[in-house]
Homo-oligomer: A and B are copies of this chain.
Amino acid sequence: MIAGSVTWQSLRAEALRRIRSRIWPPGAQIPHEADLAEEFGCARATVNRALRDLAEAGYLERRRKGGTRVALTPVRKATFEISIIRQDIEGRGQGYGYRLLADRLAPAPTEVRKALRLMDGSMSELRFVRALHLADDRPFCLESRWLNPAVAGPGLCFDAQSANEWLVRNIAFSGGDLGFYARAADRALAADLACDEGAALFAVDRTTFSDTTPITAVTLTYAPGYRLVTEM
């Protein structure tokens, strides 16, 4: 039961309590919105708001006509933010530095073309940009990027502003893929990131699209010791 006035948050909390305490066990059907509204003495819309929120969070599964049931395996979702690297560094209280290492048109490797869904042979060459982000003058992250030249034409210069920052600020992207992995530093990476050859490095591959237009495929390789952290 809920004391006092019923808000959708209090109703959500009570529903979560019933799920956790197994009053509503995994897989079980829970009462209809109308019944719950009556039980708690509130409008159905309020119940709907609470249950919808729990469904979004993965605790419940809802289907029209089928009713609402407790998720069998509560899939916990972790979210983290894709920010501008400069802000990431400055947020740690460190000084930001940036160095452009390469910027040229070149034929992209097959796996990059595949990730960007450019297998039809269009756009034979992509713009390749390599840049280093520094924190307190020490290498922090190496950005290795393939760009759709139709989106970031040759008039655009990445000498002062990184492609990362320009893209986040100016291109509306609608979706993409993300991959996290560990890689060993080869000779070139070790030189750029000022670490030992063979060092274990954290890396992120990211492909972005705006609608169906391929925008960019980037690999961010971080200097040793980097941790990507988030809360659940």
Contacts and interface: CB of A to CB of B under 8 A. Distances in A.
B199 A184 contact: yes
A174 to B, nearest CB: 8
Contacts of A20: 172
Contact of A74 (B168, B177, B208, B231): B168
A115 to B, nearest CB: 11
Interface of A: 19-20, 26, 58, 73-84, 87, 168-169, 172-173, 175-184, 198-203, 208, 224, 226-232
A80 B81 contact: no
A208 B50 CA distance: 24
Contacts of A184: 198-200
A73 B80 contact: no
Copies, count: 2
Nearest to A229: B179
A75 B81 contact: yes
Contact of A183 (B26, B82, B87, B200): B200
Contact of A79 (B79, B169, B203): B79
Contacts of A208: 232
Contacts of A231: 175-178
A112 to B, nearest CB: 16
Contact of A169 (B73, B77, B80, B178): B73
Contacts of A232: 82, 175-178, 208
A202 B204 CA distance: 11
Nearest to A72: B169
15 contacts: A20-B172, A73-B168, A75-B82, A76-B82, A78-B80, A176-B232, A178-B231, A180-B227, A180-B228, A181-B226, A181-B227, A184-B199, A184-B200, A198-B198, A200-B201
A81 B230 CA distance: 13
A228 B206 CA distance: 12
A197 to B, nearest CB: 11
